[in-house]
Amino acid sequence: MARKKAEEVRYWITRDHTKIPIPELEDSHLLNIIRWMERKMKKSGVCETVEYTGGCCDGYVDEIRHKGLDALIQMDYFPIIKEELDRKLVSEDHVLRFLTKHITIDIAYHAVRSPASTSVKELVRKAILDIVDRYA
């Protein structure tokens, strides 16, 4: 009988480099993280990261600019927003409004698996919640 793989614990790394498991973050800290991420995306739509390549002495520094879905993945938006949704700190509607502005939503998967009477809004809702689950 195969053992069930333990769920991976995700961490938030604070400005002073402290690692805190996301489930242990206080509600106020979670809300502040999401506000910061959303302000950053609204302002520029970009997440910048610095990547070091090469050896310890001859390493090069590459600045990488991520946009849309890639930016949100780089910032660990999805594990944080999933925790907020689970704790009911943020509404589903808030997440839907924010994500429809910043990422491309493909509803085709849900459209072919849903009754013909399903509204486009409901298809978008299902697609976004799947994205949150996939990247959390």
Would you call 21 helix, strand, or coil by DSSP? strand
Query: Domain for residue 46, yes or no?
Result: yes
Phi-psi region of 88 (alpha: psi -120 to 50; beta: other; left: phi over 0): left
Count structural domains, the chain: 1
Query: Domain for residue 3, yes or no?
Result: no
Query: Domain for residue 2, yes or no?
Result: no
Diameter of the chain by CA atoms?
Answer: 62
Query: Domain for residue 4, yes or no?
Result: no
- Residue ranges making up the domain that contains 28: 11-135
The tokens describing 18, both together, are 């402290």
Task: Give the model confidence (pLDDT) of 62-114 as tens digits.
Answer: 556 777 788 888 888 899 999 999 999 999 999 988 888 878 777 777 778 88
Query: Domain for residue 1, yes or no?
Result: no
Query: Domain for residue 129, yes or no?
Result: yes
Q: How many residues does the chain have?
A: 136
The fraction of the chain above a pLDDT of 70, given in percent, is 79
